[in-house]
Structure 1
């Protein structure tokens, strides 16, 4: 039977994940504490709704070297720690703390191949938005919980020389013990532990998956591989879910039952 093999949360949009033993799925279809912060560009206004397009702040799609930043967020203390190369900064979410964190990210990016992107109009100074608790900076208005099968990633990894693992695809839930690409055929309802989800649609992928999560270098033409090697019309890996009847907790090791229509 398929089971949950890994769970991830992304406290800061566009940055590295935190591996978790459990995720709390909210009634609104978002993961508690997921994308609760974002480094926005200078010309990006505070969003009025619970969505934040990648084009308005730092994201792997355009700044692949962000993948190298090691991130740790403490929910209780509401502190964020960023570590990369000689930079090691921990700060709270006070105005002064946010400024320190934004300055640290800017200083790091200035040392990378993405440095020239900072000079475009409206980018600097960066600002850190969010209260660190409310999941609100997803790309899509509904938020969604994302899932992919580990076997699908393994199948893709076998087709390219660069290492490909789950981290490239930034899903919340990774499922083991399925056939490659099986999740793309799921329809109707899927029960994961105590939460029943409705399958929404497959996830069409962007350039973020081409960035190596350890080096920050675009080292694999995965979008082309998905369409040419696997015959997809659009580069697709994983699916989006919404809770069917309220939220709950999903844990590593939970059974995954495809109930269908």
Structure 2
């Protein structure tokens, strides 16, 4: 049984915008090129940006739902951010942090630690996992959550990298410890992804409007998608085959 790639997404600045792709070339042991290159450390962060750090150090959608409505376009070292409540911003995260911090301030809750600085770890996307991961998500599982809630949901809520169609719901959980080929790349599936409040926010509005966690808990877990490691690099395109090896 095989599925096919239905969408490819990356997130240039962790928790601050998503970008749709039609193809991507992956490298062994690395995160998706251009994915979570930067992260926004808040004023209570315990990281200096020299190495990977847990998500609790960063401004993110779980604490600031309005961030979930940001979309992004990346062009080398420049990123353009868009949000329904803010003017478009095109800037260089490495050298123009002040203009970004001013732009994002109205999107941050007053009772949360304020965004303080942008960090970048050379050669390492700031994924939530402590290893360079790419997230794989199943549209059948997404549709099951929609049915459970009785409402249509955008898959963007889950902030996944590679989406696939044509396989049974929760099939991805059976992949743990196994290898999966997608296009020309091969992945080793390592972990289920435990979800947080970020997924309750509507990516069009940034307002919390769906009990995604309650829906997941009805299956006895709070997981959606899996983290995988690239063990053989290669190109992946929309409609490519997804097959367990």
TM-score (norm: length of structure 2): 0.90
Structure 1 position 149, deviation (Å): 0.9
Stretches of 4+ moved more than 4 A in 1?
none
| 1:56 equivalent in structure 2 | 57
More moved, 23-32 vs 209-218 = 23-32
Structure 1 position 43, deviation (Å): 4.1
**Given the superposition, is the C-alpha separation of residues 94 and 146 from structure 1 closer, same or farther in structure 2, using an over 3 Å criterion?**
closer
| 1:82 equivalent in structure 2 | 81
The question of 1:72 aligning with 2:61 is answered no
The CA deviation string for residues 237-257 of structure 1, in whole angstroms up to 9 with x for no partner, is 11111123x322221111111
2:196 to 206, 214, 234: 206
Give the alignment of 1:54-203 within 5 angstroms: 54-75=55-76, 78-84=77-83, 85-93=85-93, 95=95, 97-106=96-105, 108-109=106-107, 114-118=108-112, 120=113, 123=114, 126-130=116-120, 134-187=123-176, 188-203=178-193
SS in 2 for 1:158: helix
SS in 2 for 1:226: helix
Q: Is the 8 A contact 1:5 1:175 kept in 2?
A: yes
Q: In the aligned structure 2, how far is the partner of 1:199 from the partner of 1:46? A: 30
Q: In the aligned structure 2, how far is the partner of 1:201 from the partner of 1:93? A: 30
Give the CA RMSD over aligned residues: 2.0
Q: In the aligned structure 2, how far is the partner of 1:155 from the partner of 1:6? A: 18
Q: In the aligned structure 2, how far is the partner of 1:27 from the partner of 1:117? A: 41
The CA deviation string for residues 59-95 of structure 1, in whole angstroms up to 9 with x for no partner, is 01111111122322212xx222222224222122453
Q: In the aligned structure 2, how far is the partner of 1:86 from the partner of 1:170? A: 21
Q: In the aligned structure 2, how far is the partner of 1:69 from the partner of 1:57? A: 16
Q: Is the 8 A contact 1:189 1:196 kept in 2?
A: yes
Which structure dedicates a bigger proportion of its chain to strand? 2
Q: In the aligned structure 2, how far is the partner of 1:237 from the partner of 1:211? A: 15
| 1:258 equivalent in structure 2 | 244
Q: In the aligned structure 1, how far is the partner of 2:111 from the partner of 2:24? A: 34
- Could you list the runs of 5+ residues in structure 2 that have no partner in the other structure? none
The CA deviation string for residues 81-128 of structure 1, in whole angstroms up to 9 with x for no partner, is 222224222122453x2211121111x32xxxx53234x4xx35x212
| 1:22 equivalent in structure 2 | 23
Q: In the aligned structure 1, how far is the partner of 2:149 from the partner of 2:72? A: 28
TM-score (norm: length of structure 1): 0.85
**Given the superposition, is the C-alpha separation of residues 249 and 130 from structure 1 closer, same or farther in structure 2, using an over 3 Å criterion?**
same
- Could you list the runs of 5+ residues in structure 1 that have no partner in the other structure? none
SS in 2 for 1:3: strand
Q: In the aligned structure 1, how far is the partner of 2:103 from the partner of 2:164? A: 35
